[in-house]
Structure 1
Amino acid sequence: MLYGFNLAVVNSPAQYIKQFFNQTMVARNRTSLDNEALTLFYSVTVSVFAIGGMVGSLLVGMLVTRFGRKGTLVRITFLVFLAGALMGFSRRFGSPEMIVVGRFITGLHSGISLSVVPMYLGEIAPKNLRGFLGLMPSIFICIGVFVAQILGLHELLGKEEHWPLFLSLVVIPTMIQLMLLPWFPESPRYLLMEKKNVHATVTALKWYRTKANIQAEIEEMQEEQRSLTSVQSVSVIGLLKDRSVRWQVITVVVFNIGMQLSGIDAIWFYTNSIFEDAGIPVPQIQYTTVGTGAIEVIAGCIGCFTIERLGRRPLMIGGFTFMGICCAGITLSLLFENHYISVACVVGIIAGFCIGPAGVPFLMTAELFKQSHRPAAYTVSGCLNWLSNFTIGFVFPFLQMSAGAYCYMVFFCICMAVAVYMFFVVPETQNKTFVEISQMFAARNRRLDESMELGHTLKLAKMNGYGAVDLEGGAIEKKM
């Protein structure tokens, strides 16, 4: 929820924050910022959230291995209190830098949480509910965005005197989490496979499965444990070098880059300016934005309650395809100055994203990897996710100024490419155990290894003028 809130919280008070930046520079240097410098300063404030997120994602593997899934989430709550204090008192101390640092720290917290929460939910969920629970984070991301949009209304906190309070509200849900989360058990998979604590595993499973037979689930975890060459967590370098999971890594890369470069962050960060360019009267923009937030929540609920019926692939393929069509629609509507179609396409992008692409990549990252590879996989996915997030947040205002309506065609191409990749490469993982999913990718990884080895052999043959090819059993020379 905090991730969604922080994505949208800077949208409503943008003009007041810019005025604060300008007033501070005048007080310090007796000169104001020009439009380009002010845009750059505000873009840094928006996008530094993603830099913090990327740094946080790099810490995930180390933290979850040392403190566990739940333990990590409890320990990082202090970051939110620190960030809330910095942003809340920034105007009193006349320091724009406090906003930038606060945004960085909230990004650090979100970068860790955005990887650890899906990992935690994926490991505690029974097989038949893994999709449902795996999409719950996406619903709360949408709720966070929606809450920020409602509180940002001029009638509530969308006034000049309230924006520091608005930015610091992140501490309230964090206090609720800190009161509740310590009472929950740790991930049973973490307790069994990494801590080797059978008693704690049984206790945790009984807490989560009050009416279920946990013996079969323990046996499935033990089978996965036996299939691992090592129960120690694999490093990021080890993950990237491991040929047995190469297609899984490629899939995670495609999903996370595609999810952020689909254009959704441009919509979330700059909704008000997009609607203003579309010709909506300024007093009505805030209510239009709140309407899009309500649609996000509804679309997220649709995806969450249909994923166990439809599966992962239809939600991903359909979501990215619909987003791509709407991106092309925005370009056409802006060229022909049809404001209604432009607004409808913005809503369509948000709905298409929240139905599938908002949550399925985080869910599938947990499903595609076994216990030993999962922390490193979330580190890679989180880093790529946040790096792409930063790129869009920083570049989009300048891309919009230079390319105009055609900037959305970049997003169209990316969305369609991800949909095509999903259709031809990624199998359905619904109702499969982690071992079964790994076996589904095993054949594809073997074919990739064989093709790479064949290509390497042909390259050696081509480089040798006499046609000598070094084989595993020795050298065979064929002299002309």
Structure 2
Amino acid sequence: SHLTKPLLAVAFLASFGSSMLYGYNLAVVNSPAQYIKDFYNETMIETYDWSPDEKLLTVLYSLTVSIFAIGGMTGALLVGKLVTKYGRKGTLVRATVLVFIGGVLMGSSRACRMPAMVIVGRFITGVHSGISLSVVPMYLGEIAPKNLRGFLGLVPSIHICLGVFIAQVLGLHELLGKEEHWPLLLSLVVFPTMVQLMLLPWFPESPRYLLIDKGDVHATIAALKWYRPKGNIQAEVEEMQEEQRSLSSIQTISVRGLLMDRCVRWQVITIAVVNVGMQLSGIDAIWFYTNDIFKNAGIPEPYIQYTTVGTGAIEVISGMLGCFTIERLGRRPLMIGGFLFMALCCVGITLSVLFQAQLSFMRYISVGCVVGIIAGFCIGPAGVPFLITAELFKQSHRPAAYTVAGCLNWLSNFTIGFVFPFLEIATGPYCYLIFCVICLGVAIYTIFVIPETKNKTFMEISQMFASKNNILKEELTPNGHVKLAVMNGYGTLGQSD
């Protein structure tokens, strides 16, 4: 199937109003960090006639940063029930109300002299990101033909990088980087969401959801024709009906059911490894504390903000490179290459920080390694884990799989956001060696365990994992045709000799 305008439009619209906000919220607290701390200090003096010390202010700021991840984990827990009840598109549309609430709270916090409004607003926008970070790739993975699933699946990761870049640009002192503007900077998330709310309801729901979950053949065909006006949709409808028959006696699996189902044991382990690995790779430490890292590297303070913006531009370019090469190279090369390059750069940061006092050029090596980590991450590890979470599971297991993947992803995000400042104080530059080991571990796991899913149907991918799970039941047909074999309630394809 060819890339059509409706497919491209819905991919960019869903990503623009949801995924981009995740990237924006990750980076937006970086440039106004000192202003936010000053605001907390001033309001405590006004309210309690007491000035907190620097350590407490650091804890409060770390909470402001990491509460976004707690909200994200909360949102991830809701994904399974929401997408089952409202559908993929329906969930995205309904979740927009959270952004409006969070944006108003953060934007009004300084005028109301209430620091809690910043923290609560960050939490609520985190809930939205927790929902959308799982639902957008699920939605795009289900509407995309198999030969474009990788390309469309990485469109959200481009928008995540774009969100980070926009936050860095708007945070420049010449724009919204002044003390009086930081509440506006935090609340700008409402505008992309407003665009999505106005336009996304006009797009069709996921065809797979309409057929397999709702049993509505006519709506499914109409949705497929809308997304592929000139394509032959008969083969896709037949593949969906085959999956529907394999799951006819199975209800949508709960999280507990997913974790207990040995038929998807290696798929669950895989999404756990890649989602935890992508967050514990050190990328969030880079995003959250970029300015501090560059300051410690010896870059003059007036130039730090411009260096940070430069890294954001590299993120966007790297994300686009991954998006446009994934259907040619496949998922595995982008994951393996990305994590190995990040591991190398983590070693480089450690060495450069250790020796920059003796060798002045090492400060530039440090900056280069930071850029390398960001580029390596955005080219593959940033988006592929969300994509393969959709690819490794069938319709009955997919909502629970995204719930598990999302919770692990956000829990790891919170851990890094809250712990990294103290880890850096305790271990100095050696903290990046921890990230190096994690990156190497994920790369090795990908090499030996994760198969290539490029241009495969969901049924074919299930068959690839069947031998790993030791549950394939052979069912031969006289003429050698592919036949559905039921494996303890989880359908796969059996191929006869």
**TM-score interval w.r.t. the shorter chain?**
over 0.9
Q: Which residue of 2 aligns with 1:301?
A: 320
- The residue identity in structure 2 corresponding to 1:190 is Y
| Identical positions, percent | 76
Selected match of 1:220 from 232, 239, 245: 239
Superposition map of 1:67-466 within 5 A? 67-228=86-247, 230-337=249-356, 338-446=362-470
Q: Is residue 7 of structure 1 aligned with residue 26 of structure 2?
A: yes
- What is the DSSP-based 3-state SS (H/G/I as helix, E as strand, rest coil) of the residue aligned with 1:279? coil
TM-score (normalizing by structure 1): 0.93
Partner residue in 2 for 1:17: 36
SS of 1:185's equivalent in the other structure is coil
Q: Distance in 1 between matches of 2:438 and 2:332?
A: 17
Q: 1:448: how far off?
A: 11
User: Does the 8 Å CA contact 2:263/2:471 hold for their aligned counterparts?
Assistant: no
Contact 1:9 1:149 in 2 (8 A): yes
Give CA deviations for 1:38-92 in whole Å, capped at 9, x if unaligned: 1001000000000000000000000000000000000010100000100000011
| Equivalent position of 1:468 in the other structure | none
**Could you tell me how far 1:33 is from its partner in structure 2?**
1.0
Aligned-partner SS, 2:111: coil
Give the Cα separation in 2 of the matches to 1:230 and 1:267: 47
CA displacement at 1:229 relative to structure 2? 5.6
Alignment RMSD, CA only? 1.1
Structure 1: gaps (5+ residues): 450-480
Report Cα offsets for 1:12-55 as digits up to 9, x if no partner: 10000000000011111212111111100100000000000000
Aligned residue identity for 2:27: A
Distance in 2, matches of 1:230 and 1:64, equals 20
Distance 2:364 2:227 in 1: 48
Q: Provide the secondary structure at the position in 2 that maps to 1:57.
A: helix
Instruction: Check the 8 A contact 2:274/2:385 in 1, yes or no.
Output: yes
Alpha-carbon separation, structure 1, partners of 2:249 and 2:126: 33
Distance in 2 separating the partners of 1:176 and 1:232: 35
Partner of 2:489: none
On the 8 A contact 1:323/1:352 being kept in 2, the answer is yes
Q: Is the 8 A contact 1:88 1:167 kept in 2?
A: yes
Q: CA deviation at 1:405?
A: 0.5
Change (3 A) 1:448 1:408: farther
Instruction: Give the CA deviation at 1:447.
Output: 7.4
- For residues 318-350 of structure 1, what are the alpha-carbon distances to aligned partners after superposition, in whole Å with 9 as ceiling and x for unaligned? 000000110111000000011000000000000
Match of 2:172, SS? coil
Decide which of 27, 33, 45 is 2:64's aligned counterpart.
Answer: 45
For the 8 Å contact 1:9–1:167, the answer to whether it is kept is yes
Q: Secondary structure at the match of 2:396?
A: coil
How many corresponding residue pairs? 449
- Matched AA of 1:37: L
1:146/1:63 CA distance change after superposition, 3 Å: same
> Which string of whole-angstrom CA distances, capped at 9 and with x for unpartnered residues, describes residues 419-463 of structure 1?
0000011110000000000000000100799xxxxxxxxxxxxxx
Kindly tell me: are residues 231 and 124 of structure 1, through their superposed partners in 2, closer, same or farther at Cα, counting changes over 3 Å?
A: farther
Which has the larger displacement, 30-39 or 440-449? 440-449
- Within 1, Cα distance between the matches of 2:250 and 2:282? 39
User: 2:466·2:472 contact (CA, 8 Å) conserved in 1?
Assistant: no
Residue type of the alignment partner of 2:148: L
Is the contact between residue 158 and residue 319 of structure 2 (CA under 8 Å) also seen in structure 1? yes
Cα drift, residue 230 of structure 1: 3.4
Deviations 1:240-289 (A, max 9, x none): 01111000000000000000000000000000000000000000000000
Q: Give the partner amino acid of 1:33.
A: P
Q: Secondary structure at the match of 1:165?
A: helix
CA distance, structure 2, for counterparts of residue 397 and residue 49 of structure 1: 16
Paired with 2:189 and 2:154, the residues of 1 have a C-alpha distance of 22
What are the ranges of 5 or more consecutive residues in structure 2 without an aligned counterpart? 1-19, 357-361, 474-497
